[in-house]
Every structure is written in structure tokens, then in C-alpha cells.
Amino acid sequence: MSTDHLPAPVAPRLRRPSWRDPRFVVGVVIVAAAVALGSWAVAAAGRTVPVYAADAALTPGEPVDVEHLRTVDVRLDPGAELYLRADEPLPEDVVALRVVDPGELVARSAVGSAEDVDVRSVAVPVDQAVSERVAPGSVVDLWSVPQAPSGSTQAVGEPKAVVRGVVVEQVDAAGSGLVVDGGATLHVLVGTDRLPAVLKALGSPDSVTVVPRAGDVS
């Protein structure tokens, strides 16, 4: 059969998309949403708020003021209100309710009234050398070590724990290095319920030894 009289095929013409084309509208919306989301993510990543961090270890009962704090800029997130803001007035007459390590952000729950602190500072003389690891904020145990009677080299009785898990508030000692010389005085924070046992041990002829707790020292 001859094809001389059949019309030649015509290539379809591509039409430019119209703004009325639903596919065009959907594409524009997707691009706009992506740009807006990217802009929001960049802005949120760069948005920070100033909060307070401990400049040195804060111990229970210690007054908290700007001299003990430093300002740190942190990214804004839903938990920012849980910390003390440096761009807001610091609450008056507040003390630390727990140990706040150096550099740690100060949570609002970590400070409060002095009436909420149920500990007392007790000075503990220590005859033997004290490790430099025993510092403010450290957690230690106090042990009573029987002394040998006069003229004897053998102590009567075994060492026993007086109190466990007390926080060191202050260390008064001369010297420096890995170990400070003997004659140190440690100020430890003792709960009122354990205070009689500690005072009894300090008033006895036996010596009191400070034992750092592994993993609990600052």
C-alpha cells in the first residue's frame, strides 16, 4: 500500500507550564517551604541565651552570687528555663542546695533558701597527709582509727566508719603538689542526724581519717 498520500506525523509541542497548572503551584509551595524551614533551622541554631555556670565548686549552704559564677551562652531549647539566666536578676539570699561542679550550668533546682539546707559545717583535724584530690565538692567517708595505748604499739580495736558520703566544704592546709603536708583541717558538711556520731568521734582519743570515695571526687 502506498504511503505517499498520508499526512506526515507532527511532533508534539511542549507547552510552557502555566501558573494555573496544579503541578507548578505544588512545586512552588514545596520550594518555598524548604527555604523557610532552612532559614528557621539556621536562625534557631544561632539563637543563644546567657546562663550562669559555677566558676568553682559550689557546696551545700554556700551563698550563690555573681562572684562565684560565670556567664555561658547556650543554645535556646525547651530546657533553658530550668537554669539561672544571666540576663535576669539573680535571686537574693540564695545558697547552693547541692554540689555544683566547676563549669556546670546552675540549675534553678540547685539553689534555694538557707532554711532548706539540713547540714552543718564541721572542722575535722587530719594528722596524716591528705591527697590533693580531696578538694571542695569532694565526697569522703570519715573513719575512726583506734590509737595504741601508751607504751604499746598495738591498737585496741578495729577502724570503723563514722559517717559516709559527706561533702568537703573547705580544705585548710599548707603546702602544694600531689599531697599536702600533715596538719590539714577539713571542713565537711554533715547532716544534722549524723552530727552526734561525728562530734563523738572527734572528742575521743582516737584519730579520724578521711577516705575519698572513688568516682565521687571533684
Q: How confident is the model at residue 125 (pLDDT cuts 50, 70, 90)?
A: confident
Q: Is the pLDDT of residue 129 over 80?
A: no
Q: Is the pLDDT of residue 189 over 90?
A: yes
Domain extent listing, the chain: 48-115, 118-212
Provide the percentage of residues in the chain whose pLDDT is more than 70: 68
Q: Which three cell numbers stand for residue 184?
A: 590539714
Least confident of 61-70, 74-83, 133-142: 74-83
pLDDT at residue 176, rounded to an integer: 45
pLDDT at residue 47, rounded to an integer: 72
Pick the residue with more confidence: 1 or 114? 114
- Pairing type for strands 184-191 and 111-112 reads unpaired
When pLDDT is averaged across residues 173-191 and rounded to a whole number, the result is 67
3-class secondary structure for 85-99? Answer: ECCCCCCCCCEECCC
What average pLDDT does the structure give for the chain? Answer: 78
Q: What is the pLDDT of residues 8-59, one digit of tens each?
A: 555 555 556 555 666 656 666 677 677 666 655 555 555 788 899 999 999 9
- Pairing type for strands 160-172 and 119-126 reads unpaired
pLDDT at residue 96, rounded to an integer: 92
Indicate the class that CATH gives domain 48-115.
Answer: alpha beta
